[in-house]
Amino acid sequence: MSIYNTIIVGGGASGILSAIQLDDKNSILLEKNEILGKKILFTGGGRCNLTNNSTLDEYINCFYNSGKFYRNAFMNFFNKDIIKLLEDNGCKTKIEENNRVFPVTDKSKTVQKTFIDILNKKSTQYRINSTVNSIKKEKDLFIIEYDNSKIVKSKFVILATGGIAYPKTGSTGDGYRFAEELGHSISKKMAGLSPLIIKERWINKLQGISVDCKIEIKTSKKSINKDEGSVLFTHNGISGPVILNNSMEIKKFLLKKQDVIVNLDLCKDYSYEDLDLKLKNDFSNNSNKTIKTYLHKFIPKKMSKVLLDNLKIQSDKILNQITKKERLIIRDSLKRISLSVVDIIEKESFVTNSGVKRKEINPATFESKIVDNLFIVGELVDGCGISGGYNLQQAYSTGVLASETIKERLNNDSY
């Protein structure tokens, strides 16, 4: 029976980077899907926001309260390293708004394929269509059963199975079971970065439209947060980076049975007074325009008729026929669309904000503090980052750090 140096369980972003970094012919990655990096294909709306080009300090702040835990991993292998690795292998990248990095092809497939090409040049083996069923440790060796009866052994294991977000990509929570069976504890299961279901049905007609706005999240008692960014209308509510990033906070209040409202300010650069003055002037200066056409100044074309229908204002009314009352209604709704949150959509969440408790993992190496030579990386670690390329970077950085630690030990005589 083969005894490998390392077995990597899971071939997502963290497992692939672990395998690349190991570059060891006596190590193997086992992936249950028919392809490696399946989830990468779905990232960034099919464009793969592959990392974020911000500074280390900004990164630390982007992981809710778990950022410091990744300091070593990021210092060891950071955004510039993944960009260089991809670019050196033919995947050119570009930086967009908020330092988000994408492939110039705007296709996730380019990133996933480049990773596989890089891995193919390394000596680490990999096997697809191979589902790991159990992991045990006996003396100094891990015993791994896969495909229901096949057994392989190894000195090291890297658990890179992801969490439970988007289970159709293979992350079905197996890693939690493996970690628990090996003595670890898992934090309370919680979705991170989830879209919201909204009560007001009229916004469903806006599905697919994105607006840049300020948001304020409120309960009946207080303002929870003010933020700014892109909001995407969906078939039953809202999504987009600024909504995803606030979803966990919103869920906390929903769990306390409090009503939560999200107010959208579509004219963030105007105060109520300034906007009213502008509307008043423009309405008298552009008297032949319809209100529907005029509103394109502030909101996407497809949105103005839906908004006006909801306000019960005729969309083809010409500007000089708009009454003062109507003007004020228009102004108020440009400044505040109030949306009542029914719930977050956990099954559509982008990441899992739970996993193996961080206090049981050494942040200097990502080795388990409970089982020697077991490494836990990527989304399987408790916590998550905000939207913007941070979560993929966490997956690469933790995978690389684990592999470098293993390589060092393999070079040491005792192994």
Ligand X SMILES: Cc1cc2nc3c(=O)[nH]c(=O)nc-3n(C[C@H](O)[C@H](O)[C@H](O)COP(=O)(O)OP(=O)(O)OC[C@H]3O[C@@H](n4cnc5c(N)ncnc54)[C@H](O)[C@@H]3O)c2cc1C
Residues that bind ligand X (CB under 6 A): 9-15, 30-33, 38-39, 42-44, 48-49, 131-132, 160-162, 165-166, 169-171, 174, 350-351, 378-379, 389-392, 395
Q: Cβ closer to ligand X: 29 or 299?
A: 29
Q: Cβ closer to ligand X: 66 or 169?
A: 169
Q: Cβ closer to ligand X: 161 or 290?
A: 161
CA distance 275 to 125: 62
Q: Are 162 and 39 in contact (CB under 8 A)?
A: yes
Q: Cβ closer to ligand X: 393 or 405?
A: 393
- Which of 150, 114, 142 has its CA nearest to residue 5? 142
Q: Cβ closer to ligand X: 134 or 314?
A: 134
Q: Please, what is the minimum distance in Å from the beta carbon of residue 224 to ligand X?
A: 24
Q: Please, what is the minimum distance in Å from the beta carbon of residue 32 to ligand X?
A: 4
- Which of 30, 25, 27 has its CA nearest to residue 11? 30
Q: Please, what is the minimum distance in Å from the beta carbon of residue 278 to ligand X?
A: 37
Q: Is 77 left (phi over 0), alpha (psi -120 to 50) or beta?
A: beta
Q: Please, what is the minimum distance in Å from the beta carbon of residue 347 to ligand X?
A: 11
Q: Cβ closer to ligand X: 115 or 283?
A: 115
Name residue, tokens 């210092």.
Answer: 75
Q: Cβ closer to ligand X: 299 or 388?
A: 388
Q: Please, what is the minimum distance in Å from the beta carbon of residue 377 to ligand X?
A: 7
Q: Please, what is the minimum distance in Å from the beta carbon of residue 384 to ligand X?
A: 7
- What is the CB neighbour count within 10 angstroms for residue 262? 25
Q: Please, what is the minimum distance in Å from the beta carbon of residue 212 to ligand X?
A: 19
Q: Dihedral sign for Cα 77, 78, 80, 83, please.
A: positive
CA distance 170 to 164: 9
Q: DSSP for 327-367? A: HHHHHHHHH-EEEEEEEE-GGG-SEES--B-GGGEETTTTE
Q: Are 128 and 11 in contact (CB under 8 A)?
A: yes
β 3-9/27-30 pair status? parallel
In single-letter form, the type of residue at position 251 comes to: K
Q: Are 251 and 258 in contact (CB under 8 A)?
A: no
